[in-house]
Amino acid sequence: MRNNGFPLPTEEEMLYGHFPEGFIWSTATAAYQIEGAWRADGKGLSIWDKFAHTALKISQDENGDIACDSYNKIAEDINSLKTLRVNHYRFSISWPRIMPDGTTRKINEAGLNYYHRLVDALLAANIKPQVTLYHWDLPQALQDVGGWENDTIVERFRDYSDVVFNSLGDKVKFWITINEPYNVAMIGHGYGSAAPGISFRPGTAPYIVAHNLIKAHAEAWHVYNDKYRAKHGGIVGITINSDWAEPRNPYKQEDVDAAVRVVQVQFCSSTISASMTVLLSLTRTKNVNLFFIPRNSSRLVEFTPAEVARIKGTHDYFGFNHYTTVLAYNMDYKNLEHYDADRGAGTVADRTWLDSGSFWLKVTPVGFRNILNFIKEEYGDPPIYITENGVSERESMNLNDVHRIHYYDNYINQALKAYLLDGIDIRGYAAWTLMDNLEWATGFDDKFGFFYVNRSDPSLPRIPKKSVWHYATIINYNRYNKKEKQI
């Protein structure tokens, strides 16, 4: 299953063939990255509003006050989506836009109305919504009482999800509770390079946060299951992100083991409080040697048996974000508070791998198929929806984005191989992202979009890059042809 050869090939022959009938073709965004309108119509502040308004947190002190102004540009965004020919669109809801202080004390109808207008416009264009409840923009009012570190957040998230399901549930059939719990825990509360920017106890805070994230997810799933599933018939899951990892030296067992740990930590399979292991009802009878044993297990926050029972099986599918591969090597950290102490591994990139506009993202398509196989084998062959995959550039404007065409061609082809050759149950694919947007702490420098957004024009026009026609063609045929005539 692992180590398909060394060095990791970055180019392979294309496979020609069909994706499954009814395959979900989508593109993804997140509220804070595109909406703007940070104080419009009664919206409360989020931790990203506060973080971005703190000096030196975001490249060039940019912020999402306006972003792509999607709050005021529903028609423009729908046009872009139609040009792409996607049949689904993944976006997220800003919690403080509809619940300004994060609680049910006040439901902001004007904010909710934006999502109704967006969803109605999507459905009218025959594009189905995939809605993320939490893509990192926690109401600041909840952060002020401890945010994800305070376990009352579990109830707050349950109430929030109830409000959203109740309001939009007859129109939205695909729900993602939380985007990338690993990054919320680790980048927000370990490294501190994302909001809320907590970094002073990297060895403990991420565990507490992860514990609450998983409990919150489970409560949202139960709300849907108990109150809405029969009526609305949708599906609810969580989106996990992980890089693939290969051993830096494939002939060295300790590097081989380190690579396994790097992947497992991201799936939160054990360190981040055994959360995913429980969530995904893992039995792990097969690959006992793959079971991740954290270096400092005393810090784990254990789930009680009652919590385990409550969490187990709370997923209708496996949502997955993937971008790149790393090379891993064994590393014993002296400082146990170091955020990588438990995985006991360092990572590097192979210098022959193609670069992107983001320092952490190297073009490594084969890793995509490898990790899809890993998910199938480790997590009992779940239905998988790819909820993000994509590549960036850093040029101020590049409409001739051949590197993006190359990336999608090769990555999507690996997904096709995983489906056709490995029998992996892949049901959908969402490309990140619709248009260049606020790339978190990187500001607007790293551009992941199909559409370029001209930020020096106040009307923020969306201009298609060449990759738009390429993705539209793959979608149009629902397959790879030998010679594709671009539409």
Residues that bind ligand GBH (CB under 6 A): 30, 179-180, 183, 187, 191, 193, 241, 321, 323, 360, 388, 432, 439, 448
The span from the CA of 401 to the CA of 466, in Å, is: 6
Residue 361 or 475: which CB sits closer to ligand GBH? 361
How near is the Cβ of 384 to ligand GBH at its closest, in Å? 17
CA 260 to chain centroid: 21
The span from the CA of 39 to the CA of 212, in Å, is: 28
How near is the Cβ of 54 to ligand GBH at its closest, in Å? 18
How near is the Cβ of 179 to ligand GBH at its closest, in Å? 5
Residue 179 or 414: which CB sits closer to ligand GBH? 179
Ordered alpha helix ranges (H), 45-108: 47-52, 74-84, 95-98
How near is the Cβ of 36 to ligand GBH at its closest, in Å? 16
384, β-bridge pairs: 318, 426
Whether residue 302 lies in the annotated active site: no
195-200 LR contacts (CB < 8 Å, sep 24+)? 195/46, 195/47, 195/48, 195/50, 195/51, 195/52, 195/136, 195/137, 195/138, 196/47, 196/50, 196/51, 196/138, 196/143, 196/147, 197/51, 197/54, 197/57
The span from the CA of 271 to the CA of 182, in Å, is: 11
Closest residue to bound ligand GBH by CB: 360
How near is the Cβ of 448 to ligand GBH at its closest, in Å? 6
The span from the CA of 405 to the CA of 477, in Å, is: 16
| Set 388, 395, 439, 484: catalytic member | 388
The span from the CA of 442 to the CA of 213, in Å, is: 25
Residue 183 or 414: which CB sits closer to ligand GBH? 183
Residue 66 or 349: which CB sits closer to ligand GBH? 349
Which of 254, 106, 95 shows the shortest CA–CA distance to 178? Answer: 95
Residue 118 or 184: which CB sits closer to ligand GBH? 184
Q: What is the dihedral of CA 265, 271, 275, 281, to 10 degrees?
A: 70
The token pair at 53 is 């308004």
Which are the catalytic amino acids? 388
